[in-house]
């Protein structure tokens, strides 16, 4: 008998609704898991731990996370913790330390889901945002001068390296060539104002375009991209953009999918450990009520399995989600959450259909 392959997965439920959606995601993982094993290790990291012990991400735990095949994260952020601590020292530190330079955020509208934009059909919304995830304004470069005085200066620098821009643009080109995609790559930036960073991005896109002659490339300013998300989303297939533009644009993207509770994302290091998460955050208003939408976490599990090479299990989740949403009449426009989906219905029916 051949030995079954085992994936070692670090689980970080985190704060707020993180633990409840992670629980639903793990049920789905178990339901689609045939032909391979998973070894789960849970990490107690997040606001509660910080408030209890003052620790955010001890090196020993980071070391254990590094040794995983993938990470499944719920949400990070706590109302009693000053903004910036958990975000920077836990979420961003994990992304940076593991060099997860791709933030992959598919924007799909599942069948039967209503959104705030009545003119959109299901076919209109099917794109992927490739958000640069390791530099830009998120690098933490900058500082204060004369802090607290009337002459205070606060500088926040956007770091854009040739290496960083090239690897994210290359990833986006390769994704555009994937059989499921439409071979169109749009650079979203603000080249008319950010003439240094934007210029580097545009030059790299133009240079790499010759390596990918089958991919059509174009360019849209980030503000105009917001208009197109509402007015003509079908014009986008793969978008590549910098860290902060990608952050902002994908919240709008989530809303044209049907809500923050649907949008999943992956922090990917193609050669290392990747981390998958629902992108909606901790949703304190929903915490503990059983009303948060678990679809984003389930979508994150789907992406995690795809990254681990478990294409069949990932496809079962996709079929299951589509089957379930097409039957649900309760998903209303813009809704963050609704009662927990029956896992049996979601996976078993969907997989057999």
Q: Tell me which residues touch ligand IPM (CB under 6 A).
A: 87, 91-92, 247, 279
Active site residue 190: yes
- Half-sphere exposure for 229 (CA within 13 Å, toward CB): 29
Least distance CB 50 / ligand IPM (angstroms): 15
Q: Which is nearer to Mn ion, 126 or 247 (CB)?
A: 247
Pick the closer one to Mn ion by CB: 208 or 249. Answer: 249
Q: Which of 50, 68, 190, 242 is catalytic?
A: 190
Phi, psi of 277 (to 5 degrees): -155, 150
Instruction: Indicate which of ligand IPM, Mn ion, none lies near residue 242 (CB less than 5 to 8 Å, by partner kind).
Output: none
Query: Taking CB within 5 to 8 Å according to partner kind, which of ligand IPM, Mn ion, none is near residue 9?
Result: none
Binding site partner of 237, from Mn ion, ligand IPM, none, Cβ cut-off 5-8 A by kind:
none
Give residues in contact with Mn ion (CB under 5 A).
Answer: 247
Looking at the Cβ atoms of 247 and 335, the one nearer to ligand IPM is 247
**Pairing relationship of beta strands 5-14 and 70-75 according to DSSP bridges:** parallel
User: From the CB of residue 228, how many other CB atoms can be counted at a distance below 10 Å?
Assistant: 15
Annotation says 247 is catalytic: yes
Q: Let me know if 329 is a catalytic residue.
A: no
Residue 87 Cβ vs ligand IPM, minimum distance, rounded to whole Å: 4
Indicate the residue among 43 and 173 with the shorter CB distance to ligand IPM: 43
Minimum CB–partner distance for residue 49 and ligand IPM (Å): 17
- Nearest-CB residue for ligand IPM: 87
Are residues 243 and 135 in contact, defined by beta-carbon separation less than 8 angstroms? yes
CB of 95 to Mn ion, least distance (A): 12
Residue 29 binding: pick among Mn ion, ligand IPM, none (C-beta 5-8 Å cut-off by kind):
none
Residue 87 or 97 with smaller CB distance to ligand IPM: 87
Q: Considering the candidates 50, 110, 138, 338, report the single residue annotated as catalytic.
A: 138
* Residue 16: closest CA among 278, 251, 281: 281
The secondary structure of residue 35, as a DSSP letter, is: S
Give me the least distance between CB of 234 and ligand IPM, in Å please: 24
Q: Is 206 a catalytic residue?
A: no
Minimum CB distance to ligand IPM smaller for 282 or for 325: 282
User: Residues 125, 142: contact at Cβ < 8 Å?
Assistant: no
Q: Cα(318)–Cα(86) distance, rounded to whole angstroms?
A: 31
Known active-site residue 37: no
What is the bridge-based pairing of β-strands 70-75 and 126-132?
unpaired
Residues near 150 by beta carbon (within 8 Å), at least 6 away in sequence: none
Residue in 50, 126, 247, 338 annotated catalytic: 247
Residue 54, token pair as written in the block: 């003052």
Cα pseudo-dihedral 123, 101, 310, 90, rounded to 10: -110
Q: Which does 91 bind (CB under 5 to 8 A by kind): ligand IPM, Mn ion, none?
A: ligand IPM
With contact defined as beta carbons under 8 Å apart, do 62 and 97 qualify?
yes
Catalytic residue among 199, 206, 218, 223: 223
CA nearest to 61, candidates 107, 11, 109: 11
Percentages helix, strand, coil for the chain, rounded to the nearest 5? 40, 20, 40
Give Cβ neighbours of residue 314 (< 8 Å, ≥ 6 apart). Answer: 302, 303, 305, 306
Least Cβ distance, residue 272 to ligand IPM (angstroms): 19
Active site residues: 138, 190, 223, 247, 251
């Amino acid at each position: 008998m051949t030995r079954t392959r085992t994936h070692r997965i670090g689980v970080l439920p985190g704060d707020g609704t993180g633990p409840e959606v992670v629980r639903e995601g793990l049920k789905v993982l178990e339901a689609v898991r045939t032909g391979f094993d998973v070894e789960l290790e849970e990490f107690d990291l997040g606001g509660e731990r910080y408030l209890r012990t003052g620790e955010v991400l001890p090196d020993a735990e980071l070391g254990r996370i590094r040794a995983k095949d993938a990470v499944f994260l719920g949400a990070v952020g706590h109302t009693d913790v000053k903004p910036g601590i958990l975000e920077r020292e836990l979420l961003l530190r994990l992304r940076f330390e593991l060099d997860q330079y791709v933030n992959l955020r598919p924007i799909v509208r599942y069948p039967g889901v209503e959104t705030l934009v009545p003119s959109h059909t299901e076919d209109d919304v099917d794109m992927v945002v490739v958000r640069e995830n390791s530099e830009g304004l998120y690098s933490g470069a900058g500082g204060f001068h004369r802090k607290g005085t009337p002459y205070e200066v606060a500088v926040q620098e956007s770091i854009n390296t040739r290496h960083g821009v090239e690897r994210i643009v290359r990833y986006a080109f390769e994704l555009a060539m994937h059989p499921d995609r439409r071979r169109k790559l749009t650079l979203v930036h603000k080249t008319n104002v950010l003439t240094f960073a934007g210029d580097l991005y545009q030059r790299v896109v133009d240079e790499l375009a010759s390596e990918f002659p089958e991919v059509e490339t174009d360019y849209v300013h980030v503000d105009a991209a917001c208009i197109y998300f509402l007015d003509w989303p079908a014009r986008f297939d793969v978008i590549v953009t910098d860290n902060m533009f990608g952050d902002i644009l994908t919240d709008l993207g989530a809303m044209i999918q049907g809500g923050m509770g649907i949008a999943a994302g992956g922090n990917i290091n193609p050669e290392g450990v990747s981390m998958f998460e629902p992108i909606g955050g901790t949703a304190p208003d929903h915490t503990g009520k059983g009303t948060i939408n678990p679809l984003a976490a389930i979508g994150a599990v789907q992406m995690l399995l795809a990254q681990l090479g478990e294409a069949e299990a990932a496809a079962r989740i996709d079929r299951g989600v589509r089957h379930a949403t097409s039957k649900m009449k309760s998903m209303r426009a813009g809704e963050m959450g609704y009662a927990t989906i029956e896992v049996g219905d979601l996976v078993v029916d969907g997989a057999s259909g």
